[in-house]
């Protein structure tokens, strides 16, 4: 195969010519080292999708560069020959319904042989930039970058980007980045501050095209630093790698943070390895997001010669400080860990293109997750069809839960035709989650990734906190407090996975209104009973009580009849319903005698002083009981007859003549 003058060759040449300009700085302690410490949440891959160029050929180097934004991936192929030999191309793929589909092939409008279009790529939403470091800019082979914009699924080219002061072989376009309306283009062989000292250029969209805003140079630039070999940008902050800067010795490397206020750029911080040494190539790969940065040093000797390392830095205010050295489990000599880096949220993916996990030099990529200020290793990615020398991990990208790892020397479509692998990374069962989209199982229940939907009711749980046997295992609960959904039950308890309500609310009744508890609100409601419904009006002297218009009425009253001639009609007690027996006064005339103690005694004279009255007149007779020893009843009868005759005579006397 043809060997391109790509990054590996560029910097191996630089190693021989770079010198250290000052005494090595004092090394510093890093407060947090995330080495050999897999930790929750642990990520798992739900699928591996292998992507190759639709028309791939041997030696295309598909996957030499990769970038991702949301559901779009762009992959550079700098030796693609369809337009001209080694003119290069870039391929765009989009995800639809979980599948990655080819969308469009991008080529330089002014393509030509050996332009290496696709050497670097970057994307943000519907805008992408492609580096072509051998293209003709203002001068022959000075390099260029091409911006493409997507509308309704179709990509079109915008005006070409070139350095205002470009020179032949500057390698402008060696690295590219995009953030919103700003572009950052690396030019590692610029001679502005010495031969191959390097530079980076910022371009900003002005409404018609991208205009150059600033050429970024370092205050301590030196020949062969190769500033701009790697670039990253987020908002107003740019991160530029200089992997051959002589900080701790030749080619120990550094990275520089530049910050923009308005339209003015200034160097904010020079980042160096906290345990750097000559030949580390710190700054070979860089990425930045918000106030965090990751810098790769693939030739660091942390676990053996050229085993590699990656470093995390955090910005507080305007101060940048290292907070972690990232080293994967099993790292060994010549793995080149840190040859590529990418960040998204609290995850970072780091390539190790010569890792030996699957076989000698097959390559790997490692995902680390940040929790607070601490990083921990989560998962190692390797190709399912790994072959020695594929350079898996040479380029990486990550967006959200999806990671892309390239193997630009893969041979599926011919020797070194290249490929890329896409992984969806999810939290494992039992890991914390906010939404189901975070979980490999597809279920987020009780704040953890669950092994099932766990939705049988209120008496199943998936976290220890809710009573489950383990985080992530859906368990039927027993004895736990629950809610049966009925507001009218006051004590609800889980019983073998069922929520059982107890202590129902008691609503008081009215004779013609039923007290009913509303299960939705727990409020007692009065429901009118239908007319004719039995009720109790509270009066024991009524019977056959029924509701009429919400009022309880007794339809039959108790009659309290006199029990004999010496009793008057009684009254009914509304409380007990008993009739009272009302005795007539002693001496009251009764048939054949007189009343005494409620009993009619025959042939008895009325007691002394008793007036015997006749019906309807004022005639009165005074009886002296002492004048008679017996026969008081006969005398009384004679008197009654006499009174009746007198009444008749009086009636005749008052009659009017006809």
Q: With CA atoms as reference, report the closest residue to 225 among 253, 248, 200.
A: 253
pLDDT band at 622 (very low <50, low <70, confident <90, very high): very low
- Laid out side by side, the sheet with 230-234 consists of 230-234, 237-242, 254-261, 264-271
The per-residue DSSP string of 432-492 comes to B-SSGGGBTTS-EETTEE-SS---S-TTEESSGGGT-SSTT--EE-SS-B---S-TTEEEE
Mean pLDDT value of segment 179-207: 97
Per-residue pLDDT tens for 120-152? 999 999 999 999 999 998 888 899 999 999 999
Portion of the chain with pLDDT greater than 70, in percent: 85
Contacts of 339 (CB under 8 A, 6+ apart): 284, 285, 296, 298, 308, 351, 352, 353, 393, 394
Residue 89 maps to a domain:
yes
Tell me the C-alpha distance between 552 and 353, whole Å.
Answer: 92
> Which of 485, 504, 523 is a domain's end point?
504
pLDDT band at 199 (very low <50, low <70, confident <90, very high): very high
Do 310 and 356 fall into the same domain?
A: yes
The overall average pLDDT reported for the chain is: 86
- What is the separation of C-alpha 255 from the centre of its chain, rounded to a whole number of angstroms? 36
Does residue 609 register a pLDDT over 60?
Answer: no
How are beta strands 254-261 and 237-242 bridged, if at all? antiparallel
Contacts of 206 (CB under 8 A, 6+ apart): none
Give the tokens for residue 165.
């002061």
pLDDT given for residue 625 in this prediction = 42
Which letter, b or e, does each residue of 202-230 get, where b requires 16 or more Cβ atoms within 10 Å of its Cβ? bbeeeeeebebbbbbbbeebbbbbbbbbb
What is the phi/psi pair of residue 510, to 5°?
Answer: -115, 155
Three-class SS state of 61: coil
Give the tokens for residue 654.
């008052």
Q: With CA atoms as reference, report the closest residue to 361 among 380, 396, 397, 333.
A: 333
Three-class SS state of 428: coil
- What is the separation of C-alpha 256 from the centre of its chain, rounded to a whole number of angstroms? 36
The per-residue DSSP string of 333-385 comes to TT--EEEEEEEETTEEEEEETT--SSSTT-BEEEEEEEETTEEEEEEEE--TT
- Of 157 and 505, more confident: 157
Mean pLDDT value of segment 600-607: 73
pLDDT band at 641 (very low <50, low <70, confident <90, very high): very low
Residue 93 maps to a domain:
yes
Per-residue pLDDT tens for 233-267? 999 999 999 999 999 999 999 999 999 999 999 99
Q: How far apart are the first and last CA of the chain?
A: 160
Portion of the chain with pLDDT greater than 90, in percent: 64
Residue 389 maps to a domain:
yes
Q: With CA atoms as reference, report the closest residue to 134 among 189, 184, 82.
A: 189
Residue 519 maps to a domain:
yes
Do 317 and 364 fall into the same domain?
A: yes
Does residue 436 register a pLDDT over 70?
Answer: yes
pLDDT given for residue 605 in this prediction = 60
Does residue 443 register a pLDDT over 80?
Answer: yes
Q: What total of structural domains would you count in the chain?
A: 4
Do 203 and 97 fall into the same domain?
A: yes
pLDDT band at 15 (very low <50, low <70, confident <90, very high): very low
Residue 225 maps to a domain:
yes
pLDDT given for residue 195 in this prediction = 97
Do 45 and 123 fall into the same domain?
A: yes
Domain that holds residue 76: 35-427
Do 352 and 473 fall into the same domain?
A: no
- Of 31 and 74, more confident: 74
Do 288 and 417 fall into the same domain?
A: yes
Residue 413 maps to a domain:
yes
- Of 571 and 650, more confident: 571
Do 229 and 364 fall into the same domain?
A: yes
> Which of 427, 462, 484 is a domain's end point?
427
**What are the C-alpha distances in Å from 35 to residues 32, 38, 197, 236, 426?**
9, 8, 34, 32, 22
Mean pLDDT value of segment 260-276: 97
Cβ atoms of 575 and 540 closer than 8 Å: yes
> Which of 504, 521, 545 is a domain's end point?
504
Instruction: List, in sequence order, every residue forming a beta bridge with 259; answer none if it has no partner.
Output: 237, 266
Do 500 and 532 fall into the same domain?
A: no
Per-residue pLDDT tens for 18-72? 333 333 444 455 543 444 444 445 678 777 899 999 999 999 999 999 999 999 9
What is the phi/psi pair of residue 651, to 5°?
Answer: -65, -40
pLDDT given for residue 38 in this prediction = 43
Does residue 219 register a pLDDT over 90?
Answer: yes
Per-residue pLDDT tens for 94-107? 999 999 999 999 99
Q: Which of 218-232, 477-491, 581-595, 619-633 has the lowest mean pLDDT?
A: 619-633
561 CB neighbour count, 10 Å cutoff: 8
Give the tokens for residue 356.
């030996």
Residue 99 maps to a domain:
yes
pLDDT given for residue 4 in this prediction = 33
Contacts of 520 (CB under 8 A, 6+ apart): 487
Place of tokens 């989209």: 437
Per-residue pLDDT tens for 505-545? 888 888 898 888 998 888 988 889 899 999 988 899 998 89
Do 459 and 375 fall into the same domain?
A: no
Predicted model pTM: 0.71
Do 468 and 533 fall into the same domain?
A: no
Radius of gyration of the chain (CA): 52
Q: In sequence order, which ranges of 115-230 are alpha helices (DSSP H)?
A: none
Does residue 177 register a pLDDT over 90?
Answer: yes
Per-residue pLDDT tens for 543-571? 889 999 889 998 888 888 888 889 888 88
CATH code of the domain covering residue 374: 2.130.10.130
Does residue 335 register a pLDDT over 60?
Answer: yes
Residue 532 maps to a domain:
yes
Number of H helices, E strands in the chain: 2, 46
pLDDT given for residue 648 in this prediction = 45
Do 651 and 618 fall into the same domain?
A: yes
Mean pLDDT value of segment 205-225: 96
Positive or negative, the CA dihedral 123, 126, 127, 129 is: positive
Does residue 289 register a pLDDT over 90?
Answer: yes
Do 116 and 177 fall into the same domain?
A: yes
Tell me the C-alpha distance between 225 and 200, whole Å.
Answer: 12
């Amino acid at each position: 195969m043809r060997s391109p003058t790509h990054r590996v060759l560029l910097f191996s040449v630089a190693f021989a010519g770079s010198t250290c300009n000052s005494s090595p700085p004092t090394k510093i302690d890093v407060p947090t080292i995330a080495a050999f410490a897999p930790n929750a949440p642990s990520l798992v891959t739900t699928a591996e999708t292998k992507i190759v160029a639709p028309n791939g050929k041997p030696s295309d180097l598909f996957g030499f560069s990769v970038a991702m934004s949301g559901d779009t991936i762009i992959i550079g192929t700098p030796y693609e020959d369809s337009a001209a030999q080694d003119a290069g191309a870039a391929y765009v793929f989009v995800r639809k319904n979980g599948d990655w589909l080819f969308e469009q092939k991008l080529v330089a409008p002014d393509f030509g042989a050996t332009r290496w279009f696709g050497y670097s790529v970057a994307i943000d939403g519907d805008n992408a930039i492609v580096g072509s470091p051998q293209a003709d800019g203002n001068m022959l082979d000075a390099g260029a970058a091409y911006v493409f914009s997507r509308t309704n699924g179709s990509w079109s080219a915008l005006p070409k980007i070139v350095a205002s002061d470009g020179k032949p072989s500057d390698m402008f376009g060696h690295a590219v980045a995009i953030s919103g309306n700003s572009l950052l283009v690396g030019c590692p062989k610029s001679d502005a501050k010495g031969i191959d000292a390097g530079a980076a250029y910022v371009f900003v969209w002005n409404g018609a095209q991208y205009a150059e805003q600033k050429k970024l140079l370092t205050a301590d630039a030196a020949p062969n630093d190769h500033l701009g070999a790697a670039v990253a940008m987020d908002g107003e902050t740019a991160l530029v790698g200089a992997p051959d800067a002589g900080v701790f010795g030749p080619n120990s490397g550094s990275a520089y943070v530049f910050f923009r206020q308005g339209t003015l750029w200034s160097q904010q911080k020079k980042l160096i390895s906290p345990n750097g040494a000559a030949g580390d190539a710190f700054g070979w790969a860089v990425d930045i997001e918000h106030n965090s940065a990751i810098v790769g040093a693939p030739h660091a000797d942390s676990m053996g010669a050229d085993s590699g390392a990656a470093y995390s830095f955090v910005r507080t205010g305007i101060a940048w400080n290292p907070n972690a050295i990232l080293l994967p489990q099993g790292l060994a000599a010549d793995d080149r860990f840190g040859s590529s880096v990418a960040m998204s949220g609290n995850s970072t993916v780091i390539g190790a293109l010569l890792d030996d996990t699957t076989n000698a030099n097959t390559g790997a990529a490692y995902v680390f997750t940040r929790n607070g200020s601490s990083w921990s290793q989560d998962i190692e990615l390797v190709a399912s069809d790994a072959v020695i020398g594929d350079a898996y991990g040479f380029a990486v990208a990550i967006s959200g839960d999806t990671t892309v790892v390239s193997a630009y020397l893969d041979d599926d479509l011919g020797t070194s035709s290249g490929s890329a692998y896409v992984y969806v990374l999810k939290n494992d069962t039992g890991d914390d989650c906010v939404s189901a989209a975070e979980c490999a199982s597809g279920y987020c229940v009780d704040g953890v990734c669950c092994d099932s939907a766990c939705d049988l009711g209120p008496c199943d749980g998936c976290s220890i906190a809710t009573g489950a046997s383990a985080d992530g295992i859906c368990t039927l609960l027993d004895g736990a407090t629950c809610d049966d959904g009925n507001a009218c039950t006051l004590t609800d308890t889980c019983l073998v996975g069922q929520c059982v309500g107890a202590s129902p609310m008691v609503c008081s009744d009215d004779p013609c209104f039923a007290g009913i508890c509303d299960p939705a609100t727990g409020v007692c409601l009065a429901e009118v009973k239908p007319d004719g419904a039995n009720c109790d009006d509270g009066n024991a002297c009524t019977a056959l009580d029924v509701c009429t218009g919400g009022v309880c009425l007794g339809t039959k009253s108790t009659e309290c009849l006199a029990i004999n001639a010496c009793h008057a009609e009684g009254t009914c007690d509304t409380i007990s319903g008993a009739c009272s027996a009302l005795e007539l006064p002693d001496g009251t005339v009764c048939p054949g005698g007189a009343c005494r103690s409620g009993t009619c005694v025959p042939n008895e004279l009325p007691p002394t002083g008793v007036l015997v009255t006749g019906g309807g007149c004022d005639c009165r007779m005074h009886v002296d009981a002492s004048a008679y020893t017996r026969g008081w009843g006969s005398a009384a009868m004679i008197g009654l007859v006499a009174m009746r005759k007198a009444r008749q005579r009086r009636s005749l006397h008052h009659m009017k003549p006809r």
